[in-house]
Amino acid sequence: MELNISGLKPVKETKKDELEGGTEKVIIIGAGPAGMSAALYAARAELSPLLLTGTQIGGQIALSHIVENYPGFPEGTGGADLTELFQKHAEKFGARFEFDHVTSVDLSKRPYLVNTYSKQFKAETLILATGASPVHLNVPGETELTGKGVSYCGTCDGFFFKNKKVIVVGGGDSAMEEGLFLTRFASSVTVVHRRNELRAGAFLSNKAKSHPKMDFIWNSVITEIIGENAVEAVRLKNVVTGEEYIHSIDGVFIFIGHHPNTEMYKDYLNLDENGYIQTDTSLKTELPGVFVAGEIADPTYRQVITSAGMGAAAAIQATRYLEKIED
């Protein structure tokens, strides 16, 4: 794949002997499966990578109650437990974790600059693995009632809905996984989906449909979330008939997708129409020594194992790049 760099800020290539002191060989931005796998592979290459975690180590996986499809765990494993294992594995070989949040980058010249809340770092190579964030409904009441009955994480907030009625918005794997988890606490889980069939895989779809606590409202969307100090009801609209009505509920859990966290790279890297970073087949960007991994470049698969694989590949490419410029 040939990358188009027209319209982007040019980068000034810096020779090896011009690199400033204190420059990190590899900086990884993001501590999800992609970032931590990249840290492991870069550490095993004896590059002493620095991983900047952001506000949450583990990314979305840390919020998953159980991960059932990661190889080597036939009985499943907790998302937080898997996160801890990833970190320990990377640190064992010399990866360094800095618990700080990146606020901006300057990719106009090498060494690249990475600014955080507390300091500035310089990097010969970068691996960008900042993941994706939940998509919102953008309806009245959503923002005002977030944390007051509106949630984007069943694992985080399910406990607070014991014996209450909740709605899950969405029809994919994440929605069904979270909905099934919520049945541990809620008295009922109603799935609201804008289509007349689920997008989730067969196993999860069948499991959800057969669960006694779960029911479904098809061909419908939420147009308003209603409540004063907490969620009390939602306004539903049938997208086929146009009918609208009020549905009483105690909580709304929204799982309708994610958008990539790529805003701070837009002046330097090519993004597609949905904001995902464009790369060649080797996870290289148009900038020398800048690689990407995980959901900021993957709108298709978005699995723990695929993100981890991308992280490993990006680290291998960064290693080869450093070997080349040091020859």
Pick the catalytic residue: 157, 173, 250, 298? 157
For 254, list phi and psi in degrees, rounded to 5.
Answer: -110, 120
Pick the catalytic residue: 17, 100, 153, 272? 153
81 is catalytic: no
Q: How far apart are CA 272 and CA 48, in angstroms?
A: 32
112-116 and 102-106: which strand pairing? Answer: antiparallel
311 burial via Cβ count (<10 Å: 0-12, 13-18, 19+): buried
Tell how far CA 87 is from the center of its chain: 17
Pick the catalytic residue: 156, 215, 267, 280? 156
| 220 touches 193 (CB < 8 A) | yes
Note the helical H segments in the chain: 33-44, 79-92, 154-157, 173-182, 202-210, 304-326
316 burial via Cβ count (<10 Å: 0-12, 13-18, 19+): middle
For 215-247, b/e burial (b = at least 16 CB within 10 A) is ebebebbbebbbbeeebbbbbbbeeeeeeeeeb
| 182 touches 189 (CB < 8 A) | yes
258-260 and 132-134: which strand pairing? Answer: antiparallel
Q: How far apart are CA 170 and CA 180, in angstroms?
A: 13
153 is catalytic: yes
Q: Identify which of 259, 252, 243 has the alpha carbon closest to the alpha carbon of residue 142.
A: 252
195 burial via Cβ count (<10 Å: 0-12, 13-18, 19+): exposed
Residues designated as active site: 153, 156-157
